[in-house]
Structure 1
Amino acid sequence: MSANLSTSLSVLAISLASVLAAGLTLAPPERAHHQAAGAGAPIPRPAAQPAHVATVAVRTIRIAENTAPPRANRFAFDRTEGFKLAVAERASKAQAAVIARWSPNRPLIQPFAVPTPRHVRRKDFAHLFRVPLKQPRTTLVSLSSAPFPYNGRVPGTGEAFLNASTEGRLAHRTRGGRLYTADETYSDNRSLFHIPKGFDITQPGVIVLFFHGHGAMLKRDVWERQRLPAQITASGVNAVLLAPQFAVDARDSSIGRFWQPGALRQYLNDAARQFAALYGEPGTEAEFARMPIVVVGYSGGYMPAAWGLAHGGVRDRVSGVLLLDAMYGHQASFFNFIRRSPSAFFVSSYGRYTRNGNDSLRRVLADVGIDAAPSLPSVLRGGSVALIEATVSHRDYVTNAWAPMPVADVLRRMPGVGRIAAPGRVASRR
């Protein structure tokens, strides 16, 4: 289009140059009402055109198909200096010399300056076409960066993780002496993904990263019994859920590939791609990849929570930590996270089995001047620390700790996170 416009202006310049060189006067075209330079009155039409006056026809230039020409009162060049510059830039040196001799006092037709359309890249306006989901998306997806399968070594000991065998099958013997085969217990690389109805990628959101405890299976326990997808939805917060499978239905806190430095960050990057696909907009992968995280660890999930905060390479993305009866160890890792992450909150709810671990953390925090509240503040701002006693059944802790649906309760108290539109007002993507 720019080339066509340049060519048209050059043709017009040549015509004008020829007319001016011959000392001729331009006559206004039919049905055009042009204003004299610096005056408000229309140029009077001569009664008759002398023989030496030439008429130059000016054609309307359209910039695209089915595009109406600009209105006569918009984008008009100044008929003196502005017009000369526009034409001179596109004319040859000889033509420019002729145009430069033109007298600005002589009446001249004002051609319309055709505005050049700005090329808008998709990313500049793609968000206008992203609408909240009409239906929730909940599914199990396999990821190559999941904790298992894993055939590496256990940090600190240098011992191979698959350190035993039974009936020709590789196995892992836990510190407590239990024996689990790799194919049954450490081969599930699936993760639970949930995007609630109404989730909107254009609004501030968070990823709830849930680490399950012993004896768990994603669909049976995390999805159905502990109702994590339902809690995310019930919160009314613009949040999504991600829960990796660790040891399947076993009393083992091994975290497999997540023992490797930076492995958790890689896992989250891979999960971002899956979230974008589930959301229906592959182009949103980058938004999911930088979305803040709330780490939730239940029971034996303290191990991946503590290790991930210390070695996972994700501390810059963590906006909060929630432990549900999970302070069985690694208090030093949680203490260091609290001390080094003043913009994040930390909440630990405990029963009789984890009371000692929470009391120990409370003391070391007090030694450095950090007070741990005994209950949740109404707003969980950065730096909030709460250690809450809730003596309920350990098995039911994820659904009923200090309150029903504790994960949803924490999400509702987070400031700066988008809220999902009320049902019935959610637009559909499909």
Structure 2
Amino acid sequence: MDESDFVGALVPGHPWPRIEVLRHGPFPCPGVEGPDGVFGDARTLLHVTPRFDPARPFVAIAFLHGWCATLTRRIGGHRYHVVESYRLIEQVDAAGLNAVVVAPQLARDADTAIAAMPGHPGGFAVPGAFARYLDEALTQIAQRRGDGVDAYRRAPLLLMSFSGGYRAAAKVLTVGGVADRLIGFIGLDTIYGETDAFAAWFAAHHRHAFIAAVYTGGREHAHASAGVTQALARSLGALGLAGVRVSDTLPRRLRAGVAAFRHVGDPSLHLDLVADGWPRFDRPVRRLLARVAGFGGV
């Protein structure tokens, strides 16, 4: 079903997840143009987990999708959908966290055959822009639930990125205006560049944040993220950050000071990595989020 102007709840009779238009999303963005509305969709996916309680510690999860993606089939797109293909909401709910979720529409259903830079960060490249976006998104959630907004404005933030979402992620980490709230970054085969930005963020904030990235490929796969991710791991190791041990395994708990970079297999895994994971590690969003300490993970 393609409802090009769809907003509202995705499941009749249930308030979450839902699609809303936000004023402060990454697109549309002055000076960034593409065919067929590629850079013109202002919608965001919003969600709260089952049994969510804002009186308890909770985390705001921001998810940045990859190329060729649309938030949901309800608003079109020919290839990948954050809700249905990535199974993002299903996995977040299964993780058992007390959490809210925001996922902006980045370039809409685009690859390099459609746009020169499908991973363009849009408005998120403007200093402080992501903070304004997050405040608007969380305020919408609070108001729809009938909650006060103060707890939402103080909530810790966890950033997740898949594939081509890395450019937007780098801007969020470095100029997003949310550094004091960020407790971690989870990368799913996503570090294809911007290593200086990721390294600078973690070096400055490792005392209260973690970085955990999984990647595919190897020396024979020049197009995969392996080489760049491994270079980032080496650069962090060379910094000698106090209390940080750069690891090639995923720890049982993702907490401040963790820097984990895990090779998970061949690039053939990439396209379905978010939904299917890798051998002996299915539903990776669920399993990684459940390792985040402090928010009721199972």
TM-score, structure 2 as length reference:
0.83
Matched, 1:308 2:161: no
Aligned to 2:94: 234
Amino acid at match of 1:205: F
Q: In the alignment, which of 262, 271, 276 is matched to residue 400 of structure 1? A: 276
Alignment partners' CA distance in 1, 2:265 and 2:15? 33
May I ask how many residue pairs the two structures share in their alignment? 259
Contact 2:49 2:97 survives alignment (8 Å): no
Matches within 5 A, 1:66-215: 137-152=16-31, 161=32, 172=33, 180-181=34-35, 184-215=37-68
Aligned to 2:264: 390
Aligned to 1:354: 225
Alpha-carbon offset, residue 391 of structure 1 = 1.4
Alpha-carbon offset, residue 364 of structure 1 = 1.1
Alpha-carbon offset, residue 319 of structure 1 = 0.5
Alignment partners' CA distance in 2, 1:151 and 1:415? 39
Alignment partners' CA distance in 1, 2:261 and 2:249? 7
Alpha-carbon offset, residue 136 of structure 1 = 6.3
Amino acid at match of 1:227: R
Q: Which has the higher contact order (CA 8 A, sep 6+)?
A: 2
Amino acid at match of 2:98: N
Alpha-carbon offset, residue 135 of structure 1 = 6.1
Write the deviation string for residues 205-234 of structure 1: whole angstroms up to 9, x where unpaired.
111100001110000310111011111110
Matched, 1:290 2:132: no
Contact 2:49 2:100 survives alignment (8 Å): yes
Which entry has the higher C-alpha Rg, 1 or 2?
1
Amino acid at match of 2:209: A
Matched, 1:374 2:248: yes
Amino acid at match of 1:418: G
TM-score, structure 1 as length reference:
0.58
The alignment's C-alpha RMSD in Å is 1.7
Aligned to 2:119: 253
Q: Which has the higher strand share?
A: 2
Distance 1:190 1:265, change over 3 A: same
Alpha-carbon offset, residue 401 of structure 1 = 2.8
Percent identity of the aligned residues?
Answer: 35
The gaps in structure 1 that reach 5 residues or longer are: 1-133, 153-160, 162-171, 173-179, 421-430
Aligned to 1:418: 296
Contact 2:94 2:286 survives alignment (8 Å): yes
Write the deviation string for residues 72-106 of structure 1: whole angstroms up to 9, x where unpaired.
xxxxxxxxxxxxxxxxxxxxxxxxxxxxxxxxxxx
Amino acid at match of 1:223: V
Amino acid at match of 2:246: A
The gaps in structure 2 that reach 5 residues or longer are: 1-12, 74-80, 112-117, 218-223
